Structure 1
Amino acid sequence: MKHIFAFERKSDYEKHQDIIDEFSEKLEGYQEILINEYALNELPKGVLWTTEELATTVFANIPLPAYTNKDLIYMSPDIDTWKKIFMEQLDGKELPDIQEFYEKHSENEVFIILAHELTHHLDLFLDEFDDEREEGIWFEEGMCFYLPRKILLNEKEFHEITQTETELVEAFKDEYGDHSLEDFGSSSYQGSISSILFDYWRSYIAVKYLVETVADNDIKSVFNEYHQWDQEGRILPLSEYFNIKDLFK
């Protein structure tokens, strides 16, 4: 993949050069695992590194400075920007353990977000980037966090982020928990950061449950069931097909 730099000032690039180099090297290792084991058959053309402002106002009009399309991954490497977003998602709630987690682990979590975007390019996912995505979006989004976390994090780190997002779901379920997993994407990027990310947290937890509890850690069998749902005509919502529609009730 190409690495493309879109900064208005040379100093912006120089400020982030070390973290870009570090992330690029780590992403290459993760990429090889996806190619060998998870049907990453066609890479995006590159990663476009840029600032939060350009990512969210010039290249797209969304509130989070990381996203992908068929050709490019757009990514802000600014750890301070992401730390601000991680704190903003708490929405003023007193959650000191979660705040401490993000204070300590922001760099790691930012790299996982970059890996998440690359994971979207797996051919194991049913929908193409140009498709109208309305069914089972939660599965792809959840798996795009589950896979890099499971592959790249050690056991302690994996447990900590799982615990953190489980606590976040619990903290925000009264505000945002009255809709199903299937509604993921119906109002994407509208509302507060916490309302946007709530569905990502739930989707990750749902996929983790499917893989580790239902499928006894057999990721491939979960993908097989996902493909079977599609081959049978998507008659049921995916969460109902997997029998987890009441997981968060």
Structure 2
Amino acid sequence: MKKIVAFESAEEGALYEPLISRMMNRLEAYRKFLEKKFRLTTCPKGVIWTSSELATEFFSSIPIPAYAREDFIYITPDLNAWQELMLRQLEDKDLPEVRAYYEQFSEDDLFEILAHELTHYIDLFVDEFDDDRTDSIWFEEGMCFYLPRKYGFSENYFKKITEIEGKLAEAFSREYAHRSLDDFGSESYQSSLSSIMFDYWRSYLTVFSLVQRVGGDEQKLFSLYLEWDRTGRQTSLTKYFSIHG
């Protein structure tokens, strides 16, 4: 994959060059893991590293400065911008442990987001980038969180981020839990930041629970998911997996 640096000044790009190089080296190792274990056969042409402003206002209108398109991953390396976004999602909730966690937003957290975007390219997902992607996107998004967290970091990191997002989902459940997971994707970026992120937290936590249900065997869970698609999606994916709430 190519490393493409797209900032408004050469000086800004140079400032992030060491961090970007470290991220790309880690991504190469994760790419090899996905190729070996989870059917990654076609990678994006490159990663476009840019500012948060350009990512959310120039290249796209998505309010989160990391996303995958058919040919490229777009992401900002600005740790301060990520920290500000992660804290803003808390709104007025009194969550001191969660706040303290995101106040220490690190390179590991940035790499997790980058690895998440690459995971979207594995062949095990049934929807393509140009599909409507509305009736099962929660499974793909949840798995794109799960795999990097499970296999790209320590057990302590995996447990901690699961705990943090569990607290977030619980804190915002009164506002948003009435929505169906199957609707994730229909209007994902047209609400508040906490509303957007709630769908991501819940998708990850649901996939985490499903993996536990099949004894920790992600391949078995993928097989069930693919069978749902092969048999014509005769019911919603949440009903297929007997997910309640």
Calculate the TM-score normalised by the size of structure 2: 0.98
Q: Give the partner amino acid of 2:171.
A: A
Offset of 1:43 from its aligned partner?
0.6
Q: Give the aligned partner of residue 174 of structure 2.
A: 174
1:130-176 CA distances to partner (integer Å, 9 max, x unpaired)? 11112111000000000000001211111100000000000001111
Runs (5+) with no aligned partner, structure 1: none
Runs (5+) with no aligned partner, structure 2: none
Q: How does 1:100-115 map onto structure 2 within 5 Å?
A: 100-115=100-115
SS across alignment from 1:73: strand
Q: Give the aligned partner of residue 95 of structure 1.
A: 95
Q: How does 1:35-50 map onto structure 2 within 5 Å?
A: 35-50=35-50
Q: Does structure 1 retain, via aligned residues, the 8 Å contact 2:51–2:77?
A: yes
Stretches of 4+ aligned residues off by more than 3 angstroms: none
Q: What CA distance in whole angstroms lies between the structure 1 residues aligned with 2:2 and 2:55?
A: 18
Q: Does structure 2 retain, via aligned residues, the 8 Å contact 1:83–1:102?
A: yes
Q: What CA distance in whole angstroms lies between the structure 1 residues aligned with 2:134 and 2:192?
A: 21
Q: Give the aligned partner of residue 217 of structure 2.
A: 218
SS across alignment from 2:43: coil
Q: What CA distance in whole angstroms lies between the structure 2 residues aligned with 1:173 and 1:137?
A: 20
Q: Give the aligned partner of residue 162 of structure 1.
A: 162
Q: Give the aligned partner of residue 125 of structure 2.
A: 125
SS across alignment from 1:81: helix
Q: Does structure 1 retain, via aligned residues, the 8 Å contact 2:83–2:105?
A: no
Q: Give the aligned partner of residue 23 of structure 1.
A: 23
Q: Does structure 2 retain, via aligned residues, the 8 Å contact 1:46–1:73?
A: yes
Offset of 1:105 from its aligned partner?
4.0
Q: Does structure 2 retain, via aligned residues, the 8 Å contact 1:2–1:45?
A: yes
Q: Give the partner amino acid of 1:133.
A: R
Q: Give the aligned partner of residue 228 of structure 1.
A: 227
Q: Give the aligned partner of residue 236 of structure 2.
A: 237
Q: Does structure 2 retain, via aligned residues, the 8 Å contact 1:182–1:237?
A: yes
Q: What CA distance in whole angstroms lies between the structure 2 residues aligned with 1:47 and 1:226?
A: 29
Q: Does structure 1 retain, via aligned residues, the 8 Å contact 2:50–2:77?
A: yes
Q: Give the aligned partner of residue 66 of structure 2.
A: 66
Q: What CA distance in whole angstroms lies between the structure 1 residues aligned with 2:130 and 2:136?
A: 16
* Structure 2 residue 45 is matched with structure 1 residue 13: no
1:161-208 CA distances to partner (integer Å, 9 max, x unpaired)? 000000000000111111111110121111211110100000000001
Q: Does structure 2 retain, via aligned residues, the 8 Å contact 1:51–1:77?
A: yes
Calculate the TM-score normalised by the size of structure 1: 0.96
Tell me the C-alpha RMSD between the 2 structures. 0.9
Deviating more after overlay: 101-110 vs 151-160: 101-110
Q: What CA distance in whole angstroms lies between the structure 1 residues aligned with 2:234 and 2:94?
A: 43
SS across alignment from 1:179: coil
Deviating more after overlay: 102-111 vs 85-94: 102-111
